[in-house]
Structure 1
């Protein structure tokens, strides 16, 4: 095609080659290297003057290095007088942080996970110590009761008793003793100050010179609102629909399951397209138990409502996972947009098998599988995982073998690039795929 150049970053060169093969064009040459201090250097081989440039870089691997490399490539092309630069990010980086900020020490999600021989697949790995203890000054002398009896910091910035002793900003955020949940929120809805990176990432891309962006299955579709440039959020639903029809026996009888409430819309959309039934796993996070009261007991299975309850000691926090729907002796299909540590889908699969599910598929768009996720999935109740090559899957295929199947999305991205370059509509890909 005339005046079209496709460049690829270092995150996923195999996908770039496959996209160029589908477009029947030669891949543009880019020389990327690092200096001894870690700085990235980019040199674009060949002229991009007045060309339509598409830069493919997925948000995987060394995410920060790859993102900086993408920004430098965009700026290099704009400096070289490219007519239009489109950033193609099959997996968009930092898109989950506006939803649930990563607080490893609070949520219990490990920053670094180790490989184990056995897993419990309960609702949460080790529950950290009670959260009410980290929100205030450690020294009782720095606090005093107010008229309501609630202990609060004396003064933001300085202690009245000791004017030379500072109270840290963290101590001043919420009163001491105020209950705080796993997401850092109090009962009034106040949220601790945690960096929200959505606007920053969007501004970095547009400031570097990106004129358009293409991605697939954003964790939160509202993330497009951070951009003031066109964003094409491609859907994997057509490909998943074709896979279920072609490879799942009696697919009309299967149950489409959302592993959490956030993915319910995605799962119900696929269930409606296939005419299948739908089930939802709902998690109540950090339910407090009090002294003298027994932990939550079993709820039993009534009218399609079932639950797995965990019995904590009094005064701790726990999580209850409830299955809404009937899955007994049925084939279940878990639908999610991303698998990272695999805690969500492996625990969901255990709950489904406990409730009598016969076979469990896990269909996910982006299979990151970080930490010990591969080992967890291999030992879990999931019978088969289907993901895409939006991120490299060679190592994951070696670890999971026949348990993992990879769908090719290069044709979808290639067709979207062709249509955008020719000024055609991209909406057909949302409904029919390619």
Structure 2
């Protein structure tokens, strides 16, 4: 009988089931709910003594989840677990990794310190590490940083004829180039100027040599979708086919998803790090390998 037991936070049931099959692990029963006054309640119903407990909880909208994560971990430890780990396919609070304006705090560091206090390890997919070297500089617990590039490349090879990959800015170059290499496709990187959370300006190079190809826009996080919308609208002035948008993390804040559809995009595809109707790329294989490696480290 496996000494590993997985638990799903609300909304993470599908990927938890996939991981349980890959890891030959059971899925535990836990009750998450709120009292009428909004306080959080957690009750672990499964026997977890001396087991490796893994909680699957992707962290979009983290403020609504954080106290429940804390209660879960503390409760699990009080019940005599061997280890308790967090699998956060999408990891929040990674963008504010430096002080941009006087009076700000480095909230990625603060959040990392908090999580590190009550989990023994963490697994995630493509966190926003553009200005820090590694997740270990933010989290003091053992961690596994996994990547969706290989699965994205496979999807492109199977579903797109004559693709040219387009990265929206210089920050995307390293991993867009990797996706392109694995998919045996050319790539270009655009120049982006950001004027705020919802306003960007994109400069397209001469794309005439790619007129017979399908543009595949690839980014790690689609939040307001302003970057993708701007690129799609600029591509309308070329002779290229309708663009395909691929994102790892489908946040789609507010009505961003509808706005992206309305921009004239050909199709929208995301990884299943955040549950969304566009989830066509399954990254549970990578997560499963990462969980196994993390538990080996801890045991």
Match of 2:181 among 272, 290, 297: 272
- Return 5+ residue gaps in structure 1 as ranges: 102-183, 185-190, 287-317, 398-403, 425-434
- The CA distance in 2 between the partners of 1:23 and 1:230, in whole Å, is 19
Whether 1:8 aligns to 2:15 is no
Whether 1:321 aligns to 2:202 is yes
Contact in 2 for aligned 1:278/1:325 (Cα 8 Å): no
- The CA distance in 2 between the partners of 1:319 and 1:342, in whole Å, is 10
- Give 1:217 shift: 0.9
Which residue of 1 is the match for residue 266 of structure 2?
Answer: 383
- The CA distance in 2 between the partners of 1:285 and 1:28, in whole Å, is 44
- The CA distance in 2 between the partners of 1:241 and 1:325, in whole Å, is 25
CA deviation profile, 1:145-186 (whole Å, cap 9, x unmatched): xxxxxxxxxxxxxxxxxxxxxxxxxxxxxxxxxxxxxxx6xx
Which residue of 1 is the match for residue 161 of structure 2?
Answer: 249
Q: More displaced, 345-354 or 233-242?
A: 345-354
Contact in 2 for aligned 1:10/1:66 (Cα 8 Å): no
Give the structure with the larger strand fraction: 2
Which residue of 2 is the match for residue 204 of structure 1?
Answer: 114
When residues 284 and 369 of structure 1 are mapped into structure 2, their CA distance, relative to the original with a 3 A threshold, is closer
Over the aligned positions, Cα root-mean-square deviation in angstroms equals 2.3
Which residue of 2 is the match for residue 192 of structure 1?
Answer: 102
- Return 5+ residue gaps in structure 2 as ranges: none
The aligned runs of 1:210-221 (5 Å cut-off) are 210-220=119-129
TM-score, normalisation: structure 1: 0.62
DSSP 3-state at the match of 2:155: helix
- The CA distance in 2 between the partners of 1:258 and 1:19, in whole Å, is 30
- The CA distance in 2 between the partners of 1:196 and 1:34, in whole Å, is 30
Whether 1:75 aligns to 2:74 is yes
The aligned runs of 1:18-29 (5 Å cut-off) are 18-29=18-29
Q: Give the aligned length.
A: 290
- The CA distance in 1 between the partners of 2:107 and 2:284, in whole Å, is 28
- The CA distance in 2 between the partners of 1:411 and 1:319, in whole Å, is 35
- Give 1:319 shift: 6.2
- Give 1:240 shift: 0.9
- Give 1:421 shift: 3.6
- Give 1:343 shift: 0.9
- Give 1:422 shift: 5.1
When residues 15 and 319 of structure 1 are mapped into structure 2, their CA distance, relative to the original with a 3 A threshold, is closer
DSSP 3-state at the match of 1:329: coil
CA deviation profile, 1:245-285 (whole Å, cap 9, x unmatched): 111123xxx22111122212221222233342221221235
